[in-house]
Amino acid sequence: MKHVIKHLCYALALTFALCACNQPSANGNQSAQLAEQATASNHSVEQAFSAKQSNVQTSGAGVIVKLLADDNKGARHQKFLVKINPQQTLLFAHNIDLAPRVPVQAGDTISFSGEYVYNPKGGVIHWTHHSPKGNHPGGWIMHKNEKYQ
């Protein structure tokens, strides 16, 4: 049953992302619709946060609320904050040594697949890239109808 729900969540997230990406530039009403779509697709992330679970493969969507400086220690990571519902914001750590930088700006909507790590501030999403050795599920970030992995 969990397997079926997980696949439904992935399909729902992708559907919302594709619908959102094909819309004209958002006015106030369209922004509200995008926020509702993003919130509806985040069940796996919200569940992992509530259960304080880590290392959970999740998918979802949200709105970029802040760009952060890159982490250049070791493998380089692009960092930004994504609001997935009124109560939860995620820190994204997107490996730019393994995947292209995502050209996001505050206010942009993204969808994603990656690994969730719990923290009390909302959590971290990483593994938003392909798995070079094939030993981990690959992830991605979808932005403006372009997949970065």
Q: What pLDDT score does 134 carry?
A: 87
- Is residue 60 pLDDT above 90, yes or no? yes
Phi/psi of residue 100, nearest 5 degrees: -65, 150
| CB contact at 8 A, 9 and 43 | yes
Using CB atoms within 10 Å of the CB of residue 62, give its burial: 0 to 12 exposed, 13 to 18 middle, 19+ buried: buried
- 41 band by pLDDT with thresholds 50, 70 and 90: confident
Q: What angle do helix axes 2-21 and 28-40 make, rounded to 10 degrees?
A: 160
What's this model's pTM, rounded to 2 decimal places?
A: 0.73
Looking at per-residue confidence, does 35 or 14 come out higher?
35
